[in-house]
Structure formats: C-alpha cells, structure tokens
Amino acid sequence: MISRNRRLRTNDSIRSLVRETSLTTNDLVLPMFVMEGDNKKEAISSMPGVFRQSLDLTVQTVKENYDLGIKAVNLYMKVSDNLKDNTGKEAWNPNGLMQNTIKAIKDAVPGVVVMPDVALDPYSIYGHDGIIKNGKIDNDSTVEALVKMGISHAEAGADILAPSDMMDGRVIAMREGLEENGFTDVGILSYAAKYASAFYGPFRSALDSAPVDAQEIPADKKTYQMDFHNSREAIDEALRDVEEGADIIMIKPGMPYLDIVSKIRELITQPIAVYQVSGEYAMLKAAAQNGWLDNDKVLIESLTSFKRAGADMIFTYAAPEVAKLLNQ
C-alpha cells in the first residue's frame, strides 16, 4: 500500500503534530449561580461539584478560576420569592443581586469577562422567560423589559450581555438600547438556537425557575424555545440575530445538537458558543461516579467535540476541573 493512514498515528508526538482541533482554557466559560447572604454555599444535588454561592464567595471563586486561566463567567441569580412578580422588575433594580455581583467581580478581577444572563425566568412568579398576558407569554412587552435589564447590567459593568429568553426582536432592541445609552462596547451573545430541551432539569432546580403548572399558563417553554425536531429553523434564527447585531451566537444544548453547530458554522463568521447544559453535565458525572466512565477523559472528549463541530467557546460547569486537566 502506498497510503497508510496509520503512519500519522504512530506515537503521541506525531499525533500532536497533525491534530486538527485543540482545547484550551481560553475556550472555557464558567456558569455560576449566585444567592443572597454572606459566606453561604449550597450544593446542588443533581449537579455534583456545583454550588449556589453568596456574592462574597462568588468573587473568591472567580479569582481562583481566573488564576487557572478561566477568563469568562456567565452569571445566574437565585432570586428570593418575595422579589418575584409577573413584570420581572427586580431584574433591572440598580441595587439588585445581579447588578451588585457584576460590580463586585469587575472591581476584584477587572480582566475577567462578565456575561450576565438576560431573561426574566428567575424573577418571574410563573418561571417563564417573559411576561404573561392573557395566559400567553407576551413577546413585545417582554422585549421592553429585557432591554431595561440589559442596560442595567451594562451600567453595572457587564462586558457581554447573554439574552437567553428566545423572544423575537430582542437582539436589535437591546443593541439599539445599548447604543442610545452610550454602551457601544458592550457585546451581545445571543442564544439564537436555544431548544425546548429536557436536558435543563438540574439547572431549573438550582434556580427554582421551572415554569409553573397553572391554569391557562403554559407549563413548558415550547412557545418560544425551539422545537428540537428542527434544524433549518435554527439557521434562520442565527442569521436573523446576526443581522440584528449579535456579536456571538449561542447554540444550546451542546452534544445533542452538534449538527446544528456544524451547519451554522458553515454560514456565519461570527464566533459560536455552545453550552454543555446541566443535564449533559449531570449524566457524565453520574456515570463517572458509578465507575462506568472515566470522568477526566469523557470531559475532555466531549468538550473537544464541540470545538471540532465549529464552536469557539464552551459554557460548562466543569470549567475549573477541565482547566486543571489542561494545565497539567
């Protein structure tokens, strides 16, 4: 035989020379759950190794992970029930938990990229990403609320807004709001293809943000998150968000949607983010804890598959341990 593919697999040094895809700490974004209080830390039972933490411990964790090479964090708030309503107005409180957390992180670690989540579900009594009117999620009033929320995050010092709500037209409205208020350098990472997935369960329990089962109100998010049977729709969503001014496009969940990542990568030049969501993380951890999979190897392999499919950055709860593995 003239051609033998195995020649380039002979040893690790040769394999490294011809390796097409690399995973580094520069690719990692750490999602974090923040709660009220001081010196408080609560384990999330369905997500081993992941915690809700008070603001002070959150800042400490950001510092530690920045030293590991994790340069970006994605923030979510565990909101007290007494602050929830149908308007989500706590979401743009200048002295709210999210706003104070952004300020504290940027003061302590100026170099870290802070990406706050922009969605109303943690602030909603109904657990939905939008405002309920006549038993439905009202798109346009929700977009107005999201713009207020996003501007408040920018005022607090956020680097990139991460709207995960899936309302129509929110990217252009948010971009215009930022421009009009002088925040021309604040970016938008749009959850363009966020599917109505069964893989979000542990996340919703972590924030107590699951949609309620109430009369005349949808008990799921299928009227605004995408149908997981569709792929052409995801392309349309991504292209629309790029036209509206999105700087980065998110595809969520991750591993079950690598085909979507690959298709969109062929059509846009903007960076693509992928989210290894709570259900994906929980499955890998459960299998590893039972001795069925090698934790370190499956983490690296799964995240590398995101890069191979075309992702530029990966949101993962495993970022700290992956960073340690990569640094070794």
C-alpha radius of gyration, the chain, whole number: 20
> Considering 78, 106, 194, 307, which one is annotated as catalytic?
194
Q: How far apart are CA 93 and CA 102, in angstroms?
A: 13
- Say if CB 117 and CB 206 are below 8 A apart: no
Point out which residues pair with 114 in neighbouring strands.
73
Q: How far apart are CA 226 and CA 322, in angstroms?
A: 30
Residue 36 to residues 80, 186, 235, Cα–Cα distance (Å): 8, 26, 39
Residue 263 is a catalytic residue: no
Count, in order, helices (H) and strands (E) of the chain. 11, 12
Look up tokens 């699951």; give the residue.
Answer: 210
Residue 152 to residues 23, 100, 110, 251, Cα–Cα distance (Å): 34, 11, 18, 25
Residue 252 is a catalytic residue: yes
Q: How far apart are CA 311 and CA 258, in angstroms?
A: 9
3-state secondary structure of 280: helix
> Considering 78, 84, 252, 285, which one is annotated as catalytic?
252
Going by C-alpha positions, the residue among 77, 66, 73 that lies closest to residue 122 is: 77
Active site residues: 194, 252
